[in-house]
Chains A and B, each alone.
Chain A
Amino acid sequence: MKFGADWVMVDSFVSSSARLSNLLRAFKYTDQFIIQTKIQTLCFRAHSYPIEHLAFDRSGLKLATGAQQELKVWRYLSAGLPSEFIVTFENLFYPQDRLRHVNDLSPPGAASLIAQESTLVTSLHWLHSGDDAGCLLATYLYQGIM
């Protein structure tokens, strides 16, 4: 199976100790040699509803996720390891990179364009300039811009 420009995924399997941990092995072919890289995905339930909006900030360290009325902020934690390393037992079962839940942002209050309508996140954006740099801009279907 091929993905990306010159990467080939060889196999994938789910670890026995963590059913939601999925390991992919990939190879990149260069002119001189072959690089083997492990791509490990650790899945977890982040929301009670389908996640419809994802927004990383420009640094790639902050992630906002929106699922209907739920809005959460996560921080990306990296162990700083190089992307290419040998797959070992420890690496297999103990992923180095992860997302840490930082905060739940409450939905807007009672103010609503239409009474009794449900609260739905419709977009998420991080601001990077001006006085509001670092702020998260969220739009709600009937509650406006927060």
Chain B
Amino acid sequence: MYVPYHFVGLELIGRPSGHADLSPDETQIAIFNQHDGVDIYKIPGAIWLKSYHFKIRDNIILPVYWIDEGLRLMVGSDSGTVCLWNVKNDAQLPSLLHGEIHAMAH
């Protein structure tokens, strides 16, 4: 039987790999680690580059996405906020709140 796809390699990283997103230029992958935030790895090779931390209360898989053509990283949280980082200077941007006031506006 012809098998067009085959196993290339497995990179075991030291933390759980929750939801992940590939950067638009396909050189980095952001992975939610379920422990203290998001880890950025260079691919191929799964070489750790840096991490962005935020408080995690519940052990659930949170979404992470590259936005603005890879300039910023957007991560959901278990506290009702959306966390944003500028990947170029590693600055954390003001979180997007999901409080009751905002909810009532809809």
Contact = CB atoms under 8 A, between A and B. Distances in A.
A111 B5 contact: no
B4 to A, nearest CB: 6
Interface stretch (B18-26, B67-75, B85-93, B97-105): B18-26
Main secondary structure of the interface of A (DSSP, over half): loop
Contact of B61 (A122, A135, A136, A142): A122
A141 B18 CA distance: 5
B52 interface: no
B21 A109 contact: no
B46 A145 contact: yes
B35 to A, nearest CB: 11
For chain B, give the interface size range: 20 to 34
Interface in A96-146: 102-103, 105-106, 108-109, 111, 113-114, 122-123, 125, 127-130, 132, 135-137, 139-146
A73 interface: yes
Given A105-B5, A127-B26, A137-B29, A122 B20 contact: yes
15 contacts: A103-B5, A105-B5, A106-B7, A113-B16, A122-B17, A122-B20, A122-B61, A123-B19, A125-B20, A125-B21, A128-B26, A141-B18, A144-B12, A145-B20, A146-B9
Given A103-B3, A111-B10, A127-B22, 16 more contacts: A102-B5, A106-B7, A111-B12, A113-B13, A113-B16, A122-B19, A122-B20, A129-B25, A139-B17, A141-B16, A141-B18, A144-B17, A145-B10, A145-B17, A145-B20, A146-B9
Interface of A: 73, 102-103, 105-106, 108-109, 111, 113-114, 122-123, 125, 127-130, 132, 135-137, 139-146
